[in-house]
């Protein structure tokens, strides 16, 4: 019998890549997604890569009765990876209540049912936004969690606090929170990738859509930051590397290798790249000239952040492998495929 893993938000960007890695490591995957920011065709991509079509349930995790019915139907779950959440920083600033409602209620519904139905292990999709603008770089796991710069970041902080409080009174439950930096790129087969609805909020889809002629120009938010070229610096991590970290975390929990019942790890490459460096690297590997313009800073954005990955490398036993250039090339190959560009 294969161990059965629930992946919430499993047709989303990181969720779909993680589902592939889980299947390839011999797990049985069940996906819940409401398809608010993804499409059912993603299941075709997962199946093309792995030869397996995961079980799929479409509903909103904020609906408590539907969550309970799901757990009554799937009684063999060994662990949950929880991705399902709204995730756009700018949108969260404009619509904070929507973010608090969606991201927190869904988590609490899962935790309640985990307890009731005896599912003991959770991997939580967290974010480096919990650190705000850190005092020291690179960011270690010991860095203080600061007041969030956006409601989105705050939902990740509050989610971790909810999980931590719950773990204290439920010693039989275990959680690993993975604090990611900035996931980019696509699967090497180009069968799955990042497919934002409407105007992208993240840099790389905006870059690839601009190169594909879908966007007139790329907006670079700010060139007056205290960074080498004035543009904001992030730690861009390949999505397949990131997905593999979730499999490592699941293995750690199922093999009872965790040191406490609430652990957290920073997932990045350990290298910061500026927005303008990403633009130049993309132009270099793809031979595309990007039309971009500098505009004002964006509300909620922090100046610079990159990960200290030693704990993830040494304790979790995971390391990012893929280069920025290879990752940007994978993103462009995916964009070309979905747009029919030769």
Could you report the per-residue pLDDT of 60-101, keeping only the tens digit for each? 999 999 999 999 999 999 999 999 999 988 889 999 999 999
What is the C-alpha to C-alpha distance for residues 188 and 50, in angstroms, rounded to an integer? 13
- Give catalytic residues, as residue numbers: 152
- Has residue 88 been placed in a domain? yes
Q: In the prediction, which pLDDT does 298 show?
A: 87
Inside any domain, residue 143: yes
Domain assignment present for residue 232? The answer is no
CATH of the domain at 160: 3.40.50.720
What is the distance between the alpha carbons of residues 239 and 261, in angstroms, rounded to a whole number? 26
Q: How far apart are CA 80 and CA 114, in angstroms?
A: 9
Segment 308-314 long-range contacts (CB within 8 Å, at least 24 positions apart): 308/138, 308/139, 308/140, 308/141, 308/266, 308/270, 309/138, 309/266, 309/267, 309/268, 309/269, 309/270, 310/140, 311/140, 311/141, 311/265, 311/266, 312/245, 312/265, 312/266, 312/267
Domain assignment of residue 32, yes or no: yes
Please state the domain count of the chain: 1
Considering the domain boundaries, does residue 11 fall inside one?
yes
Determine, yes or no, domain membership for 167: yes
Q: Is 139 inside any structural domain?
A: yes
17 domain residue, yes or no: yes
Structural domain boundaries, residue 174: 4-183+237-267
Q: Rounded distance, CA 274 to CA 284, Å?
A: 15
pLDDT tens digits in sequence order for the chain, 342 residues long: 899 999 999 999 999 999 999 999 999 999 999 999 999 999 999 999 999 999 999 999 999 999 999 999 999 999 999 999 999 888 899 999 999 999 999 999 999 999 999 999 999 999 998 998 899 999 999 999 998 888 999 999 999 999 999 999 999 999 999 999 999 999 999 999 999 888 888 899 999 999 999 999 999 999 999 999 999 999 999 999 999 999 999 999 999 999 999 999 999 999 999 999 999 999 999 999 999 999 999 887 889 999 999 999 999 999 999 999 999 999 999 999 999 998
15-61 pLDDT, tens digit per residue, is 999 999 999 999 999 999 999 999 999 999 999 999 999 999 999 99
Q: Which stretches of 226-337 are assigned E, i.e. beta strand?
A: 233-234, 236-238, 262-267, 273-274, 292-295
CA atoms within 13 A on the CB side of 234: 22
């Amino acid at each position: 019998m294969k161990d059965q893993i629930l992946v919430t938000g499993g047709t989303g960007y990181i969720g779909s890549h993680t589902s592939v890695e889980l299947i390839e490591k011999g797990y049985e995957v069940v996906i819940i997604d409401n398809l608010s920011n993804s499409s059912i065709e993603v299941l075709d991509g997962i199946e093309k890569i792995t030869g397996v079509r995961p079980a799929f349930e479409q509903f909103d995790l904020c609906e408590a009765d539907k969550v309970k019915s799901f757990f009554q139907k799937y009684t063999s779950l060994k662990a949950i990876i929880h991705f399902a959440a709204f995730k756009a920083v700018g949108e969260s600033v404009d619509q904070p209540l929507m973010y608090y409602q969606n991201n927190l209620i869904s988590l609490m519904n899962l935790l309640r049912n985990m307890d009731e139905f005896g599912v003991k292990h959770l991997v939580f999709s967290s974010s480096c936004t919990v650190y705000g603008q850190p005092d020291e770089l690179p960011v270690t796991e010991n860095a203080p969690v600061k007041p969030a710069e956006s409601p989105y970041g705050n939902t990740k902080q509050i989610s971790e606090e909810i999980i931590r409080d719950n773990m204290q009174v439920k010693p039989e439950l275990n959680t690993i929170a993975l604090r990611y930096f900035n996931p980019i790129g696509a699967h090497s087969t180009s069968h799955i990738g990042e497919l934002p609805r409407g105007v992208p909020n993240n840099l790389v889809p905006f870059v690839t859509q601009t190169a594909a002629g879908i966007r007139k120009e790329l907006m670079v938010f700010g060139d007056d930051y205290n960074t080498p070229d004035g543009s904001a610096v992030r730690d861009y991590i390949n999505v397949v590397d990131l997905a593999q970290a979730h499999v490592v975390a699941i293995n750690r929990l199922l093999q009872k290798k965790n040191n406490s019942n609430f652990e957290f790890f920073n997932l990045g490459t350990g290298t910061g790249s500026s927005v303008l460096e990403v633009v130049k690297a993309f132009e270099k590997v793809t031979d595309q000239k990007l039309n971009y313009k500098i505009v004002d800073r964006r509300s909620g954005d922090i100046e610079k952040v990159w990960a200290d990955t030693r704990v993830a490398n040494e304790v979790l036993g995971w390391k990012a492998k893929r280069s920025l250039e290879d990752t940007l090339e994978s993103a462009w190959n995916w964009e070309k495929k979905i747009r029919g560009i030769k």
